[in-house]
Amino acid sequence: MSIEMISIMNNTPIGNLIIESRDNYITRLIFADDAPLPESRGGNSVTDQCKMELEEYFKGERTQFSVGIKPQGTDFRQRVWAQLAEIPYGETISYGELARRLGIPKAARAVGGANHHNPIPIIIPCHRVLGADGKLVGYGGGLWRKERLIALEMKNKKEHNFK
């Protein structure tokens, strides 16, 4: 039987984060906002690695994550989340473009729904998807977080010449 681990990451540039893992994989990353934080159930090597990689990301030292992830979702959502991981650091695309890349060009709304249900934001970079007109739309963690994450990546990409 697997044991779920919960670790808290306080004071990130986008607020407190709750990191959940099971069977040595990250299963959820939750924006804590003002809700009471759950009791940390100790860390493990995967939550510790996730914390380290997130810290490096926020400092502009990491553009890709290597921590193991195992998001739970339908086959369609899994396909969308896998395609999200292909969007390069510091770049954005539209929901329509994401649907086209999946081979289902008329499914922008369904893709948006799958994006909304992404259980591991930041690591699965759903923040890199914009509306058809290039505007910030829809983000489970709030548009202010989406805006900060995109700005952080664009700033670091420019300063560090990340490809």
Q: Give the residue numbers annotated as catalytic, written as ranges.
A: 126
pLDDT interval class at 1 (50, 70, 90): very low
**DSSP letters for 88-131:** PTT--EEHHHHHHHTT-TT-HHHHHHHHHT-SSBTTB-GGGEE-
Contact indicator for 62, 160 with CB cutoff of 8 Å: no
Query: What pTM, to 2 d.p., does this model score?
Result: 0.90
Considering the domain 75-160 in this protein, what is its CATH number?
1.10.10.10
DSSP state of 69: B
User: Three-state SS for 8?
Assistant: strand
- Higher-pLDDT residue of 36 and 114 is 114
User: Dihedral through CA 30, CA 33, CA 36, CA 39, nearest 10?
Assistant: 30
